[in-house]
Amino acid sequence: MLWVDKYRPKTLDQAIVHQDIAQNLKKLVAEQDCPHLLFYGPSGSGKKTLIIALLRQVFGPSADKAGSRTIDIELTTLSSTNHIELNPSDAGFQDRYIVQEIIKEMAKNRPIDTKGKKGYKILVLNEVDKLSREAQHSLRRTMEKYSAYCRLILCCNSSSKVTEAIRSRCLNVRINAPTEDQIVKVLEFIGKKEALQLPSGFTARIAEKSNRSLRRAILSIETCRVQQYPFTSNQSIPPMDWEEYVSEIASDIMKEQSPKRLYQVRQKLYELLLNCIPPEIILKRLLYELLKKLDAELKHEVCHWAAYYEHRMRLGQKAIFHLEAFVAKFMSIYKAFLIEAFG
């Protein structure tokens, strides 16, 4: 089992990071009337961990007895007696059907055993920021109609793409990215459990390179453990595979600016998206790699267009269009710069 799963907190009391939020969630459960919740924050900040711990706090061990099933439009759900977890956005343009029909059907079914238990089920919906507007409007109606015996826990990276109507019906819980000191604390905890000898400053270097993603930091230290142990103080911390791939894409863009190269880059961007790398993260990393290779006078303009296309990407549906548009715009700017500089 990967350390990121092995050492995932099982209860709210075990949450090393976000202790304040965990204690407030415990108070909500103690009040016997948990509202709809919207957890939002950057990837790797611990949203899903807190949600799973919250389910255990509400329903006890029965929340762990989860089975999976695939429904008729290729959508997988995880469920126990008291909760159901799914990702409606995986259904693509059929996300509205998922919300209107399947979630509605789940919400209508009262819990089987309510003796001494909460008289409601919990539906956990992931990536609600990727739902279409129509699906979000349907979700709002479901929240209102079945709120007596169904609670929703919504999870997303960015609340700006969730409609105000949904946000206003939920208790919004912002999960900030952990600080580097908090990440170091978790890595040292894992090191102690695994009986690892950690050189001075080693965990701090991993935390610095993690970009404040706890998941990434834990994966990095496990990768280092596999590659070389005992650790050394100057041991290199390997980048993620997808980061190296983005670096290759940036090099390709800098070497040639042509329709043929743009098509090749598009295929590589598609590959990253197919491997579930979020488009906002791809754009951010690509900008970082390009800025390292640029003259100072171009950096401001390139940053401006990166922000422009990131905004358009958040408003639109097809991320590849906006990623490719940014690459095309960059090629245009850079080629004009080369022509002006070198004739």
pLDDT (tens digit per residue) in 189-214: 888 888 888 888 888 888 888 888 88
Asked, for residue 234, whether it belongs to a domain, the answer is no
Q: Quick one: pLDDT at residue 67?
A: 57
Rounded CA gap, 314 and 193, in Å? 41
Rounded CA gap, 145 and 148, in Å? 8
Residue 206 shares a structural domain with residue 301? no
Give the domain CATH number at 302: 1.20.272.10
Residue 10 shares a structural domain with residue 152? yes
Q: Quick one: pLDDT at residue 110?
A: 61
Asked, for residue 236, whether it belongs to a domain, the answer is no
Residue 206 shares a structural domain with residue 166? no
Rounded CA gap, 228 and 316, in Å? 44
The domain in which residue 142 lies consists of: 3-174
In 3D space, the residue among 310, 290, 308 whose CA is nearest the CA of residue 299 turns out to be 290
Q: Which amino acid is at 195?
A: A
Segment 4-61, tens digit of pLDDT: 778 788 888 888 788 888 888 888 877 766 788 899 888 888 888 888 888 888 877 7
Segment 134-187, tens digit of pLDDT: 888 888 887 877 777 788 889 988 888 888 988 888 889 898 888 888 888 888
Residue 65 shares a structural domain with residue 124? yes
Q: Which amino acid is at 289?
A: E
Residue 219 shares a structural domain with residue 257? no
Rounded CA gap, 327 and 82, in Å? 47
Burial of 17 (0-12, 13-18, 19+ CB in 10 A): buried
Look at residue 268 and give its three-state secondary structure. Answer: helix
Q: What share of the chain in percent tops pLDDT 90?
A: 12
| Residue 326 pLDDT exceeds 90 | yes
Asked, for residue 306, whether it belongs to a domain, the answer is yes
Residue 75 shares a structural domain with residue 57? yes
Sequence-separated (6 or more) residues with CB below 8 Å from residue 340: none
In 3D space, the residue among 339, 337, 328 whose CA is nearest the CA of residue 261 turns out to be 328
In 3D space, the residue among 86, 33, 94, 83 whose CA is nearest the CA of residue 53 turns out to be 83
Q: For the chain, what is the domain count? A: 3
Look at 86-100, 279-293, 298-312, 324-338 and tell me which has the smallest mean pLDDT. Answer: 86-100
Rounded CA gap, 99 and 86, in Å? 11
Look at residue 151 and give its three-state secondary structure. Answer: strand
Rounded CA gap, 240 and 224, in Å? 12
Rg (Cα) of the chain, in Å, rounded? 23
Decide if 85 contacts 51 (C-beta within 8 A).
no
Q: Quick one: pLDDT at residue 112?
A: 52
Helix or strand holding residue 141 (H, E): helix 133-145
Segment 97-141, tens digit of pLDDT: 777 777 777 666 665 544 445 567 788 888 888 888 888 888 888
The whole-model pTM stands at 0.74
Rounded CA gap, 318 and 324, in Å? 11
The two three-digit tokens of residue 329, written as one number = 């715009």
- Can you say whether the dihedral through the CA atoms of 185, 189, 192, 196 is positive or negative? negative
In 3D space, the residue among 58, 37, 75 whose CA is nearest the CA of residue 111 turns out to be 58
At 329, the pLDDT band (50, 70, 90 cuts) reads very high
Asked, for residue 84, whether it belongs to a domain, the answer is yes
Task: Select from 163, 192, 227 the last residue of a domain.
Answer: 227
Sequence-separated (6 or more) residues with CB below 8 Å from residue 73: 91, 94, 97, 98
Higher-confidence residue of 324 and 147: namely 324
Higher-confidence residue of 254 and 232: namely 254
Residue 145 shares a structural domain with residue 223? no
Look at residue 76 and give its three-state secondary structure. Answer: strand
Segment 297-322, tens digit of pLDDT: 888 999 999 999 988 887 777 888 99
Give the domain CATH number at 88: 3.40.50.300
Asked, for residue 232, whether it belongs to a domain, the answer is no
